[in-house]
Structure 1
Amino acid sequence: MGVRIDVSHLTMTYGALVAVDDVSFAVEPGEFFGLLGPNGAGKTTALEAIEGLRRPAGGTVRLDGHDPWRRDPSLQRRIGVQLQASSFFERLTTREQLRTFGALYGVPPARADRLLGTVGLEDKADERTEKLSGGQRQRLSIACALVHDPEVVFLDEPTAALDPQARRNLWDLLRGLTADGRTVVLTTHYMDEAEALCDRVAIVDEGRLLTLDTPAGLVRGLDAPVRITLAPGALAMDQVPGIGGVASAEEDDGGLVLTTREPAAVLGRLAARGALTGLSVRGATLEDVFLHLTGREYRS
């Protein structure tokens, strides 16, 4: 179980537009790998090349040494794909939809029915898919990608349109995929999702690979200060110089936000002043890394 992915100097073009520009990376068998980037960064195009849906303009993609573009049936059976925009057969119920996808791979109906429970759609089994909500259709799309028990799974923004509860429940399912040894490649705009699920992440922008590391490694590399938010009235602005070790301070909703590279010392001094009630401490996150690398401007 599990497939190794090798991407070497991948280039993808649409006419004169270079959507993916000389990108190289490898994904190990059993790894949960994240491909992150702003809108239009090239991540979905790269994913489609790895899945075998688009032919590279340059470079190579290999799944366990095989070229996915050659559409080898023995390789395709090992791949599960959840697309960003899913289409289903018309006029079928949720159960019929999943059973139909399973039948294409010789999967017995009982497995398809069990998977409906796994993604929380048992109560919608006899509902026609056009009547499902966006989040329910998303969960059905993921079930269709998993119905034949693939060894490598590609998930393009799998939790888009899901409410927070459904997202967290789906995370448990996705964690279980790599626990069984499968390789998973994920694109997402939720940095907390990538941080929670991925062993490593690659951040791309304008078609180029900017960085690749574990989420924790990327956060450490940012070397950002710690933000300490105090409750209103806990400390006055004119008292900040007496704390020591504070790089900057700003008012926020009646309280203060302190930034520091000496959090232990600052917290000790705040404790001595009795200013810990309602306090929160925030270090850097993967979102901070993402914004640092790709900027804060709006993307279409």
Structure 2
Amino acid sequence: MERYVTTNSGRNFYIRETPGENGTIIGSHGLTGHHKQLRHYQEAFSGTYRFISYDILGRGNSGPAPEGSSIDTHANDLLDLIATLEIKRPILLGYSMGAYISAIAASRLSDVEALILLDGAGRADDGTRQLVLPSLERLKKTYSTPDQYVEEARMLYTKLNIEWNQQMEEIVRYEITEEDGVWKHKSDPGIITRDFDSFYTFHPEKILPLIQCSAFLLVATGSIGEKGPLFQKGGYAQTKKWISDLHTEATSVNHYELVFHKQPEIIGQIQAFLSRM
């Protein structure tokens, strides 16, 4: 079921919810993504866990992000959404930027059941910036037809080792809209850049010791093109140091394959982690 939710604080979110009896997982997507980015994970856990994915403010069909948007404000938005939906003992799952958001939210909420970090909440370095910023250029462009945007996205994702299929086309078409006779990305590039810059304000030593639940960290070591992984292995040293109850796994797939391809081995690792809760 997909629907709009207006939170207690007046924010408007677009969510997708699937049923389950073993608790509630709420999933936060990556920097330029939207709820469909977590489709494979939602499908894998649906029926066992209630799973809620949502468009972070400024993405997809959710409301606009504020001018001071950051991983910190998005964490507060997540807490607002959890309170509005009256979710007790949530399992927070975050991918990439969503991992930062989920970690910050977990540090501020005492009844989190578990925290799942999918290649995020590590130290971003200059290599991260060099990989991310060029990919944001498409957000600034306009297109005369949606097909033009889809073709550019297809070429981009194919270079990232992503298999192009009907699901990928659906994901890409969801992120654009028509405005004044042209097609453009739904997100404001200035907001996206500001959100990315806020990765560098993340202080593990101040945030992570406050997390009271067990956590699962998945590190994607696969190279993005010829430039290496998005987050270097050493970038997770502080994450591992400051989360007291942490289980870590690594995968050879790259950052984008982690969500755009089915990952049965990773799903199994998460299921094993949750079964111990």
TM bucket (normalised to shorter chain) is under 0.3
Q: With structure 1 as the length reference, what TM-score do the two structures score? A: 0.23
Structure with higher Rg: it is 1
Q: With structure 2 as the length reference, what TM-score do the two structures score? A: 0.24
